[in-house]
Chains A and B, each alone.
Chain A
Amino acid sequence: MLALVVDDSAVIRTVLTRILSGLGYEVLSAIHGRDALNKLEAGASPALALVDWNMPEMNGYEFIRALRTDARWRSLPVMMVTTETEIEQVARALAAGANEYLMKPFTPEMVQDKLALLGLSPTQG
């Protein structure tokens, strides 16, 4: 299964890639929303996307809104992974179409727990 990781921080991309690989995913990463959309347009077909909020070019919020207005990606499970921790932000992300929300900092167990909530944990299958 392929997971799409969208974050402008190379450190976070590396950390998430390591965690997801440990859970049996292959990982495709993108450095911002526009980059991610381009990769999807080019044919990438992930089973899940982990998306940062604050990024240059196109932020995570805009990216999720773009996904949800396109029938091809409308039902792609998306988890926001961000330093934004206000309740209004969580609510906004969910309203825009995020399925889950993880606040930084996080541990591998937290990522795994959240994937289980999305019905995506390998231990669930």
Chain B
Amino acid sequence: MSVSPEDFRFVSAFVRDAAAIVLESGKEYLVETRLGPVAERSGLDGIPSLVRELRRDRHGALARAVVDAMTTNETSFFRDVGPYQHLRQSVIPALIDARRADKRLSIWCAAASSGQEPYSLAMLLREHFPQLESWTVQFIATDISQAMLARCRNGVYSQLEVNRGLPAPLLVKYFQKKGLDWQVDERLRNWIEWREFNLVGRAWNSLPKFDLVLLRNVMIYFDVETKRGILANMRRVLRPDGYLFLGTAETTVNVDEGFQPESAHSSCFRQRAA
């Protein structure tokens, strides 16, 4: 099955408007491999029919399924190791010190995918900062994909997923075996507040102020203007002395000069004093 140039143009424009995802020409195969199954599940006989339906209704269940399918959800526990070391050794201790008077912390994982990133951070906090148990920690994790949020809430991971990057002592301590899969403890699942949130949407005002934001490996899919818009919003929800983490291949440099990378860790960013 192949995608007509016209259908491809429509799908690219649709996912760009809905989720800022950039689908350059040459990525026709992505539309075929990812939307073929969506069409099938929706009882449509192929991508042309799917596009026809999408033209009729750009906000319904099919539209959501298309956005879900076109996002890339690659993730793993403690991805890249380094950022978590920096969080543990430097960022969290500094935040605990800075907030010791009112004992409040607010944390946001802004592209949670299937949940490995927020759960990694949650385990790190429980393991190394037990004093936070007596604090008020607001921990919000969001994604645009409802399917991913359902996975997050469930917290069920395959053996292959827990094999990747998750230290065995944490597996034993925070997971239960469920058939062939592994499920995160209820305590961690309920600690995190799971919400749907579109980074290119208009709901930024609904967010509280954060001390720490993980916005990792999602802006790589966006063009520069979209990145600028997101980082401008980020400056409003991140406290002036807060911390922003991006993916290892991402930066604010030459995108938003309101941020500057920390010298100790190049994927951690602080706001410049105004």
Residues on A facing B (Cβ under 8 Å): 85-87, 90-91, 93-94, 98, 100-103, 105-107, 109-110, 113-114, 116-117, 124
Contact = CB atoms under 8 A, between A and B. Distances in A.
Nearest to B162: A103
A86 B172 CA distance: 10
B168 A87 contact: no
A105 B161 CA distance: 11
A16 B134 CA distance: 45
A121 B32 CA distance: 38
A101 B164 contact: no
A105 B159 CA distance: 9
A90 B165 contact: no
Nearest to B82: A124
A103 B163 contact: yes
B139 interface: no
11 contacts: A85-B177, A93-B168, A101-B171, A102-B163, A103-B159, A106-B163, A107-B160, A110-B160, A110-B164, A116-B165, A117-B81
Contact of A117 (B159, B162, B165, B172): B165
B171 A117 contact: no
A-B interface, 5 closest residue pairs, ranked by CB to CB distance from nearest: A101-B168, A113-B165, A110-B163, A91-B172, A87-B177
A90 B168 contact: yes
Q: How large is the interface on B (under 10, 10 to 19, 20 to 34, 35 or more residues)?
A: 10 to 19
B245 interface: no
Interface in B134-160: 159-160
* Most chain B beta-carbon neighbours within 10 Å: one of A90, A102, A106, A113: A113
B252 interface: no
Contacts of B165: 113-114, 116-117
Contacts of B164: 109-110, 113
B229 interface: no
Nearest to A119: B81
A93 B176 CA distance: 17
Contacts of A107: 160
Given A100-B167, A113-B76, A90 B172 contact: yes
B175 A87 contact: yes
Nearest to B77: A113
Contacts of B159: 85, 103
A94 B160 CA distance: 20
B177 A116 contact: no
Nearest to A106: B163
Nearest to A99: B168
Nearest to A85: B159
Contact of B78 (A90, A101, A109, A117): A117
B81 A94 contact: no
B43 to A, nearest CB: 35
